[in-house]
Amino acid sequence: MEYQKYEMDTYTIYTIKTNKFKNCHMEITFYDNAKKEELGLRNFLVDMLCHSSKKYPRRKDLVIQLEELYQSYFYGISSKVGNMVVSSFVYDFLNPEFVSESTYLEEALKFPFEILENPNCSENAFDERSFKIIKKRILTDIDSIKENPTNYAFRRALFNMDKDSITAASVLGTKEEILKITPSSLYEYYEKFYKKSLCNIYIIGDLDMEQVVEIIRKNFHNNCLKNHQVQPFVENKTRRKELVVKEKSPFSQSNLVLGFNLEKLTKEEMFTTLYFFDEILCAGGLKAKVYNALREENQLCYSVSSINSKYDHMYYIYVGLDHKNVALAIKLIKKCIKEMAQGKISEEEMNLARRQLETSLEVVTDNQNSLINNYTFHSIVGAPLYDELKESYKKITIKDLKNLGKKLKLNFIYELQSKEGEE
């Protein structure tokens, strides 16, 4: 795989040339520091831009064109990563080698820029018809968070932790914020978004990258210079004593979330040691400490999951279980964390985690999305590339994990109580 970087005046193109895939994958990424009051607006805009355009005024027209381009896919996604908001327009298209038309590459690459630069607007306002469709869909998405116990428990847990923290804000925005957006205010934001967001383009495939860069240069007219920096990390407040919150729910299982602050991590700890730590504690499936304690030894649950939210300096453990077992589960999770902080980690656990992580690094290189995701965060925040990670994992010791374990501070215990658990 050949990694290349092409610096343009106002954006950078990052390419990975490989013949591993028949598909080509491109992401046009706009990123910036997150502003809580703009999250909903930004997400709305990304949906709006992918729904229709001047040339393809209805969703149907746009999808027909994608079918003509040999079943290409185009969609947008806005995500909040710590204090950053990353909005990517993702485009998958067939490798031109499988297509007889000699102009296919040019036609295919033109498409996403045509959409982004010629939105469905007139008189400085987005098309009312498409606007209404997207607005309704987002309002429904906000409502439907309550339908999924995991998502809802997380949302409520973070709200209770600190409703003012950017960590607690939803990328969808609030209903009140969405209701205030108008076709004109959205257009105003579009201009700002396009001019002020930092921008990178990532592309992977078996392509002549020089030609690709030339086609992008011709079709992407992002002319505004930006020179500000992103500050990706959030410092969430810590607590002397953990917050304990219980809320009622209509679900038959209780949903338990434990949130931990990650205090003063080094770059190495954040991008490498934490993954190793998580593998032994929770992410390593049935062999992990928490999984083993809760499922194998006590049969309290079917699965346990963890989220390494390093940019928020937070770490979460989540489990769905019978309300009567919640107290025991909390005790066992705390015990496992304590063991990590005391360095009670066997050589066998170290070896298993190392092998599992090495395999994961091999597996992700078979996946285009993972490769691009890795390249994205490498280029934006200096996260290590997969090959660098492989070397770093080899060097991690029990002492490193013990040190990291001491930096985990319990912030909250949140239980979304089952119907049976109501008191």
Which residues in this chain contact another protein in the complex, by CB under 8 A?
19-23, 58-60, 63-64, 67-68, 70-71, 94, 98, 129, 132-133, 136-137, 140, 143-144, 146-149, 250-253, 284-287, 295, 299-303, 320-322, 352, 355-360, 362-363, 365-367
Q: Is the dihedral of CA 119, 125, 127, 129 positive or negative?
A: positive
- Residue 413 in 3-state DSSP? strand
Quote the Cα angle for 197-38-316, to 5°.
Answer: 95
Query: What are the structure tokens assigned to 392, written together?
Result: 């770093």
Looking at the Cβ atoms of 225 and 286, the one nearer to another protein is: 286
Q: How far is the CB of 110 from another protein (least distance, A)?
A: 18
Looking at the Cβ atoms of 199 and 256, the one nearer to another protein is: 256
Q: How far is the CB of 115 from another protein (least distance, A)?
A: 15
CA distance 47 to 52: 9
Looking at the Cβ atoms of 140 and 229, the one nearer to another protein is: 140
Looking at the Cβ atoms of 229 and 250, the one nearer to another protein is: 250
Q: How far is the CB of 211 from another protein (least distance, A)?
A: 21
Q: φ and ψ at 265, to 5 degrees?
A: -80, 145
Looking at the Cβ atoms of 146 and 237, the one nearer to another protein is: 146
Looking at the Cβ atoms of 68 and 208, the one nearer to another protein is: 68
Q: How far is the CB of 321 from another protein (least distance, A)?
A: 6
3-state SS, 2-64, equals EEEEEECCCCEEEEEECCCCCEEEEEEEEEEECCHHHHHHHHHHHHHHHHCCCCCCCHHHHHH
Looking at the Cβ atoms of 35 and 324, the one nearer to another protein is: 324
Looking at the Cβ atoms of 57 and 242, the one nearer to another protein is: 57
CA distance 206 to 95: 7
Query: What are the structure tokens assigned to 232, written together?
Result: 């990706």
Looking at the Cβ atoms of 29 and 95, the one nearer to another protein is: 95
Looking at the Cβ atoms of 235 and 297, the one nearer to another protein is: 297
- Residue 266 in 3-state DSSP? coil
> What are the beta bridge partners of residue 15?
4, 203
Q: How far is the CB of 360 from another protein (least distance, A)?
A: 8
Q: How far is the CB of 192 from another protein (least distance, A)?
A: 28
CA distance 227 to 225: 7
Q: How far is the CB of 361 from another protein (least distance, A)?
A: 9
Q: φ and ψ at 127, to 5 degrees?
A: -55, 125
CA distance 290 to 198: 40
> What are the beta bridge partners of residue 308?
315
Q: How far is the CB of 10 from another protein (least distance, A)?
A: 33
Query: What are the structure tokens assigned to 213, written together?
Result: 């860069």
Looking at the Cβ atoms of 366 and 391, the one nearer to another protein is: 366
Q: How far apart are the first and last CA of the chain?
A: 58
Q: How far is the CB of 170 from another protein (least distance, A)?
A: 15
Closest to 135 measured CA to CA, from 187, 183, 103, 171 = 183
Q: How far is the CB of 392 from another protein (least distance, A)?
A: 16
Closest to 111 measured CA to CA, from 90, 95, 126 = 90
Check: CB of residue 323 under 8 Å from CB of residue 420.
Answer: yes
Q: How far is the CB of 143 from another protein (least distance, A)?
A: 4
CA distance 365 to 372: 10
> What are the beta bridge partners of residue 93?
24
